[in-house]
Amino acid sequence: MPYTLQEQRDKFLPYLFLLPPMQDNMLVDVFVCIALRYINPNHGYTFPLWSLDRKIIESLPKMDKGDMNYVITWLTHKAVIDRGLRYTNLNDLVDNFDHASKMFVSLCGNNKAVEGMFRCAQLEFYRTVVAPYEDKKKEENGPVSELGS
């Protein structure tokens, strides 16, 4: 996130660059693992992550909500770069935030901090990536109707 200082970002980037491109189900699992580490570093839940990915996620430095938001947003941006800037990809990625939040709640119950972080990360992704893409496409192809003019 833009408010995450570069020195703080630098703590996470060496780990994040080690992660391979991920499909949606794997990305959701990683999001949930990161949230679980935020609330309890020794959570004990297992996910179908490759062993290398699990070691990378478990090695991430301690983080607060802003850091967690930054890491999840960074991974989402990386997924766009890996997959390409297309509506289908963006739609799937927006949906990942909801899936991760629901999976987290099913494992741990309600946690307003984590659920709020997923919502804020989703809204920021939509505002900064999806909406500008939709504006560009509206410019290229015209609005759906006079309501979108």
Residues 85, 129: Cα–Cα separation, whole Å: 9
Matching residue, tokens 């500008």 = 132
- Residue 89 domain-assigned (yes or no): yes
Judged by DSSP in three states, 62 sits in: coil
8-state DSSP, 60: S
- Residue 81 domain-assigned (yes or no): yes
User: Are the beta carbons of 21 and 93 closer than 8 angstroms?
Assistant: no
Sequence-distant (6+) residues with CB within 8 A of 74 are 12, 13, 16
Sequence-distant (6+) residues with CB within 8 A of 33 are 45, 47, 49, 54, 57, 58
Q: What pLDDT does 6 receive? A: 92
Q: What is the pLDDT of residues 77-132, one digit of tens each?
A: 999 999 999 999 999 999 999 999 999 998 888 889 999 999 999 999 999 999 99
- Residue 140 domain-assigned (yes or no): no
Residues 4, 20: Cα–Cα separation, whole Å: 23
Instruction: Please give the residue range of the domain that contains residue 125.
Output: 6-135
Percent of the chain beyond pLDDT 90? 51
What average pLDDT does this structure show over 137-148?
89
Q: Across the chain, what does the average pLDDT equal?
A: 87
- Residue 99 domain-assigned (yes or no): yes
pLDDT of 11 above 70: yes
Q: What pLDDT does 23 receive? A: 79
- Residue 1 domain-assigned (yes or no): no
- Residue 144 domain-assigned (yes or no): no
How many domains is the chain built from? 1
Residues 16, 31: Cα–Cα separation, whole Å: 12
Over the range 22-52, which residues count as b (16 or more CB within 10 Å of their CB) and which as e?
beeebbbbbbbbbbbbbeeeebeeebebeee
Comparing 55 with 73, the larger pLDDT belongs to 73
- CA angle (76 as vertex; 108, 11 as ends), nearest 5: 80
